[in-house]
Amino acid sequence: MNGQLPAIDYVNLSNAEHTRDILGARDVNRLDLYGSSTDARYTFSSNLYRGLLEVAKLHPDVLLILNHCRNYPPSVMTQLIGTGHWIHLQFRLRGVGEETLGSVQIKAPENAFLVTSYPSETAVLRRSEASVEQKTACIYMRPSAIEQFFGIASDAFPAHLRWIADGANADPRYHLQPLQRTSFSAVDDMLACTFNGAARKAYMRAKSCELLAEILHAVADVENTAPNQMNLNSRDIQAVVNARDIIHERIECTLSLAELAALVGLNRNKLAVGFKRVFDVPVQVYWRDLKLLKARDLLRSSELSVTEVGWRMGYAETSSFSRAFTAKFGISPRRLRSNAAGAHFALERDTR
């Protein structure tokens, strides 16, 4: 995975020799989970990173490509587009990617899906930033497969997105949106699938249909959005993801929404709207629930009192902390502390 890698051809990913060259890893194993030469799952590793890559040919003109890598290194490669027009649906759960087609440069942040049209006989320059985790699912297909394989007519898309299914475009086109939360589950399900043979192919086909349904649902929502509602570009989406990361890093801090927005370069309103759209939950609710989860861990594993735990999580009054905790977990913090203490005592007694 470096700047010297050869060009990648998605259609040829089932070829083990080609894929080993692309992965650039020390150990690459091809797992035959489908019983077919056109489908494969690879595991790979080096001293620094490890992961898996899976390709399934769901239809003569539809490829599913799954990628999950830990300690993902920076990479630069060229993707070759052969004869005919292709559509690339990219569901990016973790890691940041960038692609350049001529003068068109597109950056896909985490928690986003990107739909791109590739004209015939072109090349795409792909860059990926180093990340703790890279997790993506891609559906690479001919435009005609939208109707022939998925059974969706082009007029099911909003007018400004009919190019996805209508056929060839002289120039590259793309559409970027926050990823729907239900898409995370679909991708994780595919990565964790334990089926083999025809059952695996059927499962991947069904999950791919689910992901495309998510696109249709999401673009319909955008089409029906009131004109005065804001749009989010790739920079805005990345800023929202950065805000999420800050929340995790500073879980015990008490920041206002305006202060958090300033840290990531957004205004208060755009952060509030963007966070809800990307993570499907208001930022205040996300932060509150994260604090309560941390409080539960502290009550189970530390000697801090209920009042002290509440203070650490930003609650000035123990009664407010107790009400929020009970509403979230169905048990009061004092009762949880008592149960945890009893279990610890029993463990010590049984191990004497």
Q: Does domain 234-348 have CATH number 1.10.10.60?
A: yes
Within 10 angstroms of residue 313's Cβ, the number of other Cβ atoms is 21
Whole-model pTM? 0.71
* 149/247 Cα distance (integer angstroms): 42
Query: Where are the CATH 1.10.10.60 domain residues in the chain?
Result: 234-348
**Cα dist from 8 to 14, 19, 30, whole Å:** 12, 8, 17
104's enclosing H/E stretch is: strand 104-108
CATH number (3.30.70.360, 3.50.50.60, 2.140.10.10, 2.60.120.280) of 10-223 reads 2.60.120.280
Supply the DSSP string of 312-334, one letter for each residue.
Answer: HTT-SSHHHHHHHHHHHHSS-HH
Q: How many CA atoms are closer than 13 Å to the CA of 297, on its beta-carbon side? A: 8
Query: Where are the CATH 2.60.120.280 domain residues in the chain?
Result: 10-223
pLDDT for 352: 42
56 forms beta bridges with: 64
Q: What is the tens place of the pLDDT at every residue in 28-54? A: 999 999 999 999 999 999 888 999 999
* 49/23 Cα distance (integer angstroms): 11
Are the C-beta atoms of residues 43 and 70 closer than 8 Å to each other?
Answer: no
Are the C-beta atoms of residues 86 and 153 closer than 8 Å to each other?
Answer: no
Q: What is the tens place of the pLDDT at every residue in 281-303? A: 899 998 999 999 999 999 988 88
User: What value does the mean pLDDT of the chain take?
Assistant: 87
Q: Which amino acid is at 339?
A: N
* 113/90 Cα distance (integer angstroms): 5
pLDDT for 9: 94
* 315/252 Cα distance (integer angstroms): 10
**Banded pLDDT at 347 (limits 50, 70, 90):** very low
Average pLDDT on 108-112 reads 85
Edge to edge, what strands does the sheet with 62-72 contain? 27-31, 40-45, 50-59, 62-72, 131-141, 86-94, 112-118, 173-178
71's enclosing H/E stretch is: strand 62-72
* 161/177 Cα distance (integer angstroms): 13
Give the residue, 230 or 132, on which the prediction is more confident: 132
